[in-house]
Amino acid sequence: MTYVGRFAPSPTGPLHAGSLVAALASWLDARVHGGRWLVRVEDVDVPRCIAGAGEVILAQLARCGLVPDETPLWQSRRGAVYQDALSRLLASGLAYRCACTRSDIAQAMEAAGLAHERHDEWVYPGTCRPERGGLQGRAGRSTRLRVPDDAQIVWSDRRLGPQAQGVAREVGDFVLHRADGQWAYQLAVVVDDADQGVTDVVRGEDLAGNTARQILLQRLLALPTPRYLHTPLVFDAHGEKLSKQTGARELDLSRPIEALRNAGAVLGIACATSDVDAWLSEAIARWCQEWLSASGIMGSFATQKEPLS
């Protein structure tokens, strides 16, 4: 199978040091496997996107020598494809319309004596499930996946090793199409990875917790499951994960080689040269050594690695 990798930034701001790590790792992995590397601009959550940020990210990547092998895909142009997947799930009873607001959910959970915090998300109590009577005359707002009660997803991450999640118990019926009309990340990412023939997802570890939901959706939509590799995160001086939400600063690309060196260091890659293209070539060789040898330079943070078959 021809390797296809991708970097899928959300244009909610320019790249920061943490996102460059994921971009570099996915690019290196594609190069090492003689594959194609794609960039998908995930501008699906329109209210959170910043006008022009997608173009800025593409220009930042190019300055670091990371140029996609195909024209980037923009999720905001793919509503019809997501609608088609949603319609299939609805038609087969695997998704249902939900009328609940956040306060409806909180009240239902309190009435049932259930704790309702899961990070900032709630495990939906199933009020609008078809077997509970559905919308009962209320107007549908969002559309949820009807997570099978026994949905236990077991998967293996190339760096983190074996993973498991009981999706019904730990996540519940999650949203596929939001009440504000936006497509949910989980649905868009699964549909696009399959449409683009992505064989390998290499992305930041903060997204690892979404993987079980995505594998479940792939199975329900009869789509292939790619391999997954979640890369280490970058923390600021206060030990907080770098992210746009925590105010991570835009990458300083006045010297792209410095940005690459910093990103490489997080991946355990150090190259001497100060020319961007030469640095990337050397980094490919390092990444190759890393994944082809059992005790590579990533060993310091890897708990378990699996070579690609």
Q: Take residue 99 and report the two structure tokens written for it.
A: 């009328």
Piece of the chain touching ligand GLU by CB under 6 A; list 7-15, 96-104, 107-115, 270-278 = 7-15
- Distance in angstroms (rounded) separating the CA atoms of residues 99 and 142: 7
Largest CA distance in the chain: 67
- Residues 35-94 interacting with ligand GLU (rule: CB under 6 A): 42
- Residues 134-193 interacting with ligand GLU (rule: CB under 6 A): 189
Residue closer to ligand GLU (CB basis): 166 or 209: 209
Interior angle at CA 15, CA 58 and CA 267, nearest 5? 105
Cβ at position 288, least distance to ligand GLU in Å: 23
Q: Does 8 bind ligand GLU (CB under 6 A)?
A: yes
Residue closer to ligand GLU (CB basis): 10 or 127: 10
Q: Does 232 bind ligand GLU (CB under 6 A)?
A: no
Q: If binding means CB under 6 A, how many residues of this protein chain bind ligand GLU?
A: 7
Q: Does 207 bind ligand GLU (CB under 6 A)?
A: yes
Q: Take residue 152 and report the two structure tokens written for it.
A: 């236990």
Residue closer to ligand GLU (CB basis): 207 or 278: 207
Helix residue spans in 13-131 (DSSP H): 17-32, 53-63, 79-91, 102-111
- For 1, 15, 262, the CA distances from 64, given in Å and listed in that order, are 28, 11, 12
Q: Does 266 bind ligand GLU (CB under 6 A)?
A: no
- Distance in angstroms (rounded) separating the CA atoms of residues 104 and 99: 9
Cβ at position 195, least distance to ligand GLU in Å: 14
Question: Which of 3, 4, 5, 10 contacts ligand GLU by CB under 6 A?
Answer: 10
Q: Does 9 bind ligand GLU (CB under 6 A)?
A: yes
Residue closer to ligand GLU (CB basis): 21 or 128: 21
Q: 58-70 b/e with 16+ CB inside 10 Å = b? A: bebbebbbbebee
Question: Which of 159, 203, 227, 305 contacts ligand GLU by CB under 6 A?
Answer: 203
Residue 134 per-residue DSSP state: T
Piece of the chain touching ligand GLU by CB under 6 A; list 4-12, 140-148, 166-174, 291-299 = 4-12
Residue closer to ligand GLU (CB basis): 3 or 279: 3
Residue closer to ligand GLU (CB basis): 206 or 236: 206
Interior angle at CA 48, CA 187 and CA 28, nearest 5? 65
Q: Give the residues across from 229 on adjacent strands.
A: 202
Which distant-in-sequence residues (6+ apart) come within 8 Å of 273 by Cβ? 279, 282
Q: Give the residues across from 163 on adjacent strands.
A: 155
Residues interacting with ligand GLU, by CB under 6 A? 8-10, 42, 189, 203, 207
